[in-house]
Structure 1
Amino acid sequence: MDQLLTKPIQIRNVIISSILLLLGFLNLSFGWIDPLGPYSLAIAGIVSFLLTFGKASWLLFSRPIKPIKNFFIFFVLTVVVSLGTSILLQAVLNLKLKANPLSNHIPWLQLPGMLLGEELLSFFVFVVAAILLSRFTHNILFANLISAVIFALLHVPTYWNGNLFLTLFHVLALQGVTRIIFNTSGIKSNTLLVPLMIHILFDVYALLA
């Protein structure tokens, strides 16, 4: 996957792909075209990568580096950080956080496709940002943070509780931080497959908890 970070890209294609990803996300969130709803972001993500990177897009699914070790380390880290942050926000700061609506009705069959879409969107932002910031020394770090912030902000409708500041604090502290961990697992393992597996298992754990 790291070979994608050196690929030349055209801004026009990035803009078109970003629009496609936004439309895919909105259809996933609001079900405008209902049959495609759960899979619209994944479809948009695949098309966006192909449009921007062509055949090199399949480097996303490169053979993982130390998959078992990276999966275990980053899954445990995700659980620990998520639990710690939740305790801090609710027990220490006494903030009232809105639960994920899917907790009451988990779409087991659609969940992998939905999360694949989230991973494709997040890594599209990460890879494009890393390329655009390649002249800077810490471009990977900056790209990771940009991807995490965008990922968190996209969760605002899901966790909206009527208070903008509280909702932003919630998604940045929880979804934003876990996104950094997911991205880092992908960077370390050099594939999208490891963060996808961590994301699926973690969401199942979180929704059942």
Structure 2
Amino acid sequence: MLKGGFAEYAIAPESVLAHKPAALTYAEASAIPQAGVIAWQGTQGAAAGKRVLINGAGGGSGSFAIQVAKRFGAEVTGVDNAGKLDFMRSVGADEVIDYRSQDFTRSGPYDLILDLVAHRSVFDYRRALAPGGRYRCVGGSVPALLRVLTIGAAAGRLTHRRLGVLAVKEGPTHFEPVADLCATGDLTIHIDRTFTLDEVPEALAHVGEGRALGKVIVTVV
């Protein structure tokens, strides 16, 4: 038994497991409990008439988040590198931003920001929010996450904005609603590539270099 993020075998309590929907492949189902749930919980509050921005929208969680926010009726802006702009549009984004050529914190304002790759100052994020808006981050650099945790709440409260880290709730109660929508075709699971277990270094490099369009899956033969 290996301890870590990648292993051929894993042990889990029965309470965290659920039956795979028959309409989904194992690869598709494996994308839901983390990426799908982050998107589902991170876009709560999206609604018709609301402007939502997703930073890192071209990856696994981001491609889910665009669809979920659009399903809630929001106007969605996706942020990622230039190679993912067409992909984000195809998933449903109304507007797209190449972060290398445009500072999204100077666009907007947005009612909700889901940040999957946080690395900026909390004051930059606050600037991008509309009054009453909410910023949630769930990935990024450790310093950026710590800044959001330590000074984000106070910085936002002064201007009637909310900044915080998304505490993702785990378990079947939270991922089965997403799985059901995927099984019926209401949400699409975008798998960019699959890698075998011994190709994990290549898989990590593919994601780390910003080339993945949607979810990258590691398969065990």
TM-score, reference length from structure 1: 0.24
* Structure in which a larger fraction of residues adopt helix: 1
* Structure in which a larger fraction of residues adopt strand: 2
TM-score, reference length from structure 2: 0.23
Higher RCO structure, 1 or 2 (CA under 8 Å, sep 6+): 1
